[in-house]
Amino acid sequence: MPLNIYIVDDDESVCRALKTLLMTFGFEVRTFNSAESFFDSVPNDEPGCLLLDIHMPGVDGWVMQKKILDSGSKRAVIFISAEKEGNAVDRALKVGAVGFLQKPVNGQTLVDLINLASKSNDGVEKIAL
């Protein structure tokens, strides 16, 4: 069964590009332009991997990640952001993300990180690129 990938990014072109890339690797991909639309559409216990932008209108990626953790969800989170400040990487990993990738992302690196995250919710080496 293919792994579900959820992309939450307010930039539609980023969502389209990542969805196209990940579908070529056999992933099931759904995109959302806001945290609110994700939470309205995806049950908390639905497995998968979340690719999450930091800077979005309304609920940003930091608040979204906190809500996910507070809900008890075991879904892996990978932050993908154009954020240039080094503390964003540290913060993302400290709040439970399995990775942080700088936009534009390397497609193979992203796929490799998703595959690592899907193998185990525990003990995944955290990666920041």
The pLDDT tens digits of the residues spanning 79-98 come to 999 877 778 888 888 888 88
User: Residue 103 CB: number of other CB atoms within 10 A?
Assistant: 13
CATH architecture, domain defined by 4-128? 3-Layer(aba) Sandwich (3.40)
The CA distance from 1 to 90, in Å, is 33
Q: What is the pTM of this model?
A: 0.89
Picking from 72, 18, 67, 75, the residue whose alpha carbon sits closest to that of residue 8 is 18
Domain-by-domain residue ranges, the chain? Answer: 4-128
The pLDDT tens digits of the residues spanning 45-70 come to 888 999 999 999 999 999 999 999 89
